[in-house]
């Protein structure tokens, strides 16, 4: 019996300090299950002075109606000075169904205004008139008779040795007219790589098109569409506009003639890219 009393006394002595520490951890043991003290907490919070300095946009009485007009400054309030937007702070302090609904309506209205602005900008850019690119002064127009003589003279073109990179835009009428030329070149055995400049906005005109991304733009910047870059037998020529198979043949043979003349004159074995004058493209 005496041993049992001693054991109970030791247990009580060990529990007492733990109970005292537990009371320090939970100073308010009563739980407000029904949220009956919410109004009292909101009133006390409103009576306390703000711990942060108010921004100029926070001055004055808060009204949800002020955040419904896109022409006002408060409508675009995204916070600042390490302070969240005022509507967010209002909802966080008083998350009633009405406040939450007004806050979500304000966010949705901002998204609608931004989306409408993006659509209007895209529409105006699409409807803007295209400016034709002026021909460089050093280009020389080839007369029809002269072009035919050049095409008939010299060694025939081996189209299987021709590689062409075709830069185009889907909404460009000159590019649309050039689709037939691309298919004719492929039918002759040439290798054509179509590169679409407006690949983010419109579907491609040709299957297997490559997007004109930032890497290609750095390696091969272009000034207008359509642009053709043809490589044949060591020559590299650049053409612009809605060219035909015959005009490509004339340009390649002109490049070969120039290379032969330069070799004969011993001014070098390499030729500069030749740009021919054909119907011009668009910016």
- pLDDT score at 72: 82
Span(s) in the chain for CATH 3.40.30.10:
145-264
Q: Which residues pair with 167 in a beta bridge?
A: 195, 227
**Tokens in use for 81?**
């000075």
* The domain made up of 145-264 is a member of CATH 3.40.30.10: yes
Q: Does pLDDT of 218 surpass 50? A: yes
Would you state the pLDDT for residue 129?
A: 62
pLDDT confidence of residue 142: 55
pTM of the model: 0.45
Answer whether residue 151 shows pLDDT above 60. Answer: no
pLDDT: is 238 or 68 the higher one? 238
Q: What pLDDT score does 135 carry? A: 40
Out of 12-16, 74-78, 152-156, 278-282, give the one with best mean pLDDT.
74-78
Highest mean predicted confidence (pLDDT) among 29-33, 36-40, 113-117: 113-117
What integer is the mean pLDDT of 137-149? 50
Give the chain's mean pLDDT.
75
Please check the confidence at residue 202 and state whether its pLDDT lies above 50.
yes
SS3 content of the chain, % helix, strand, coil (to 5): 50, 10, 40
Higher pLDDT, 38 or 220: 220
| β-bridge pairing 227-232 and 235-240 | antiparallel
Is residue 226's pLDDT more than 90? yes
d(CA 166, CA 246): 16
pLDDT of residue 253: 85
Q: Which two tokens stand for residue 73?
A: 């400054």
Amino acid 149: pLDDT: 57
Most confident region among 27-36, 100-109, 114-123 by mean pLDDT:
100-109
């Amino acid at each position: 019996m005496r041993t049992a009393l001693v054991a109970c006394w030791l247990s009580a002595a060990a529990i007492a300090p733990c109970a005292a520490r537990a009371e320090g951890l939970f100073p308010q043991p009563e739980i407000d299950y029904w949220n009956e003290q919410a109004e009292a907490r909101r009133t006390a919070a409103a009576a306390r002075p703000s711990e942060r300095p108010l921004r100029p946009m926070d001055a004055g009485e808060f009204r949800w109606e002020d955040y419904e007009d896109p022409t006002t400054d408060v409508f675009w309030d995204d916070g600042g000075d390490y302070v969240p937007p005022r509507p967010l702070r209002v909802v966080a302090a008083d998350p009633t169904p009405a406040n939450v609904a007004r806050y979500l309506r304000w966010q949705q209205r901002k998204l609608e205004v931004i989306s409408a602005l993006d659509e209007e900008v895209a529409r105006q850019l699409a409807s803007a008139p295209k400016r034709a690119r002026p021909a460089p002064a050093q280009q020389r127009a080839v007369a029809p008779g002269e072009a035919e003589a050049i095409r008939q003279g010299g060694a025939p073109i081996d189209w299987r040795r021709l590689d062409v990179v075709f830069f185009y835009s889907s909404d460009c009428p000159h590019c649309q007219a050039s689709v037939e030329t691309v298919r004719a070149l492929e039918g002759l055995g040439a290798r054509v790589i179509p590169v679409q400049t407006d690949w983010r906005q419109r579907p491609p005109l040709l299957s297997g098109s490559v997007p004109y991304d930032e890497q290609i733009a750095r390696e091969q910047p272009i000034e207008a569409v359509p642009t053709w870059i043809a490589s044949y037998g060591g020559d590299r020529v650049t053409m612009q506009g809605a060219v035909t198979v015959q005009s490509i043949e004339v340009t390649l043979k002109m490049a070969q003639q120039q290379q032969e003349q330069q070799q004969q004159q011993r001014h070098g074995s390499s030729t500069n890219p030749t740009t021919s004058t054909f119907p011009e493209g668009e910016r």
